[in-house]
Every structure is written in structure tokens, then in C-alpha cells.
Amino acid sequence: MAAATFPVSPVNHQLCRRSNRFWYNALTPRFCSPVFSTTSPCLIGVKGIGSSSQLRPRHPLISSAASTDYLLHDVGATVAVLGGAYALVLLFESLTKRDVIPQRLSRKLVHILSGLLFVLSWPIFSASTEARYFAAFVPLVNGLRLVVNGLSVSPNSTLIQSVTREGRPEELLKGPLFYVLALLVAAVFFWRDSPTGMISLAMMCGGDGIADIMGRKYGSYKIPYNPRKSLAGSISMFIFGFFISIGLLYYYSSLGYLHMNWETTFTRVAIVSLVATLVESLPITDQIDDNVSVPLASILAAYLSFGY
């Protein structure tokens, strides 16, 4: 009997998406290929009637034209995301110069929005296996820019004022640099078919960023073991980190990149949010920057919770 093509089940669809190779599902014998699109069909080959199934995987042949299309697509997406990131910083620099918002609030809003918008931009990249590296090029460029300015090789006073607390160039080599490295790690190692990277960035960008804003405004009651952190800030981090994480998972689920079991997902995300909040509240900021401790704790907790 000739090989037939059938729609992809949710389980097999996820297996198709998670590898550059063919995956075999023994329960419903299928070979899957993720190369051409996010909804690549799985092939079933059956030989004879009444005999055991014999599977014949079809290896995709990518033409040079298709490879060129992927390349042009990802180059265009990279330029667009880089341009958007630069425009975001310019916008808040302008608002700060015109005294529309204070510099401290501007810095935090850039912290919150730039990372979250970066995660939301991943679907505009192609389905190629190299797409994640094009996306990672965005934080890489921003990281090199921070290093150049942080070492005072070519200091940009506007950049320094917009992303540092005290306006010193060397500050760029700490929190801001760790921030863009976290974006790069999430894109390269987890990408859009794993909840781990998304949740880690949701906690670092959204949860931690909003915690600082709320803590400064309503943080009169301090945490007993860390007077530099407030109860209001920690509660805000847990709540906003949780809901932003759920929002990202729903976003990628609706696009077909993730297939979540929502009966358990809420509990797992709540556990990750709690772990990240507790780590952020510890009196270790002088030793480990929040842009290191929060994403690392979130990655570990999310990976243990979701398994990928």
C-alpha cells in the first residue's frame, strides 16, 4: 500500500517541532519532519494487508531557492526587531528629556517592554532551524553596544543615562549586560517550542520590572530578612510574573508552537513564579544581580516542572 499522509496529532505535532531530525512515535507509528513548516505532516507507510507496519520516512529536500527564502525572511525579521528595539529606547529617551516621565521609571519601562516585545517577536522569524540564531543576533548586537560603552571605548551618554541607575559607564557591564545575555540564552537554548525560556523572561522582564515600580510606590512594609525589598514588590512580582507567563504560553499555544495541558500548567507556572519571587527577595543582590539570579532560578524551576 502506498504511503499516506495524515494530519498531525497534538502530541506528534509537538514532537515534530522539537527537533531538527525525524522523530518516531511508537504508539501511533509516524515519522515527522519539522523542516518545511510548523505544521509538517507525518507520514505513515503500511506494507501489505494484515502484516506489520513498515515505516518509510521521507527525507525533505530543501532547494536552494527555499533556503534563500528562509535566509531573506530571517534577515528581514532581524532588521525589523533591531529597529523596533532601537526605536523603543529612543522613545523613552525622548519622553525622559521632555520630563514626561522620570528617568528611573523610563529605565524600568525599557526593562519591562524590550524583553517582552523581543519574546513576542519570535513568530515573525521563519521555520528554519537557524531562525533562533537570527533572533539571538538582536541581543548580541545590544550586548556588544553595552560592552563598547561600558568600557568607555565610545561612550554614549544618552544610552548610559537611559539604562543605568547612577549614570556610570561601568554599570552597563553589570545588570544591563546580564539582561541581554538572558535574552540571548532564552532564544538559542529554548526558543519558541519550550515554555522554559518564555517563563524565565516573563519573570525577569515583567515580574522583576513591575516589582521594582510597585515596591518603590507602595513598599513601606519591608521583608524582615531583606530591608531592601518590600512585601508589595514581592507580591507584585509573583502576580504579574504569573499572568505574563500564562499570557506568553497562551500566545504561543494559539499559534501552534506549544501544546499545553492547562489543567497542570497553571500550577506549574505558579510554582515557578513563587521560586523566582523568593530568589529575588533574598539579600544577595550585591553578590548576584537580579538579572542573573531571577532568570537562572526560573529556568531551573520551569525545566524541572515542564521537562523541556
Q: State pLDDT tens for residues 162-202.
A: 677 766 778 888 889 999 999 999 999 999 999 999 999 99
Whether residue 54 is contained in a domain is answered as no
Do 79 and 186 belong to one domain? yes
Q: What band does 36 get if pLDDT is binned at 50, 70 and 90? A: very low
Number of domains in the chain: 2
Phi, psi of 281 (to 5 degrees): -80, -10
Three-state SS annotation for 41-97:
CEEECCCCCCCCCCCCCCCCCCCHHHHHHHHHHHHHHHHHHHHHHHHHHHHHHHHHH
Cβ–Cβ under 8 Å, residues 88 and 106: no
Range name among 19-23, 144-148, 274-278, 302-306 with the lowest pLDDT average: 19-23
Query: Which residues constitute the domain of residue 139?
Result: 69-191
Whether residue 44 is contained in a domain is answered as no
At residue 60, the pLDDT reads 52
Do 224 and 149 belong to one domain? no
Last residue of a domain, one of 130, 160, 191: 191
pTM across the whole model? 0.77
Last residue of a domain, one of 191, 208, 224: 191
Do 265 and 225 belong to one domain? yes
CB atoms near residue 140 (< 10 Å) = 17
At residue 99, the pLDDT reads 84
Which tops the pLDDT comparison, 279 or 36? 279
At residue 304, the pLDDT reads 96
Q: State pLDDT tens for residues 218-273.
A: 988 999 999 999 999 999 999 999 999 999 999 999 999 999 999 999 999 999 99
At residue 300, the pLDDT reads 97
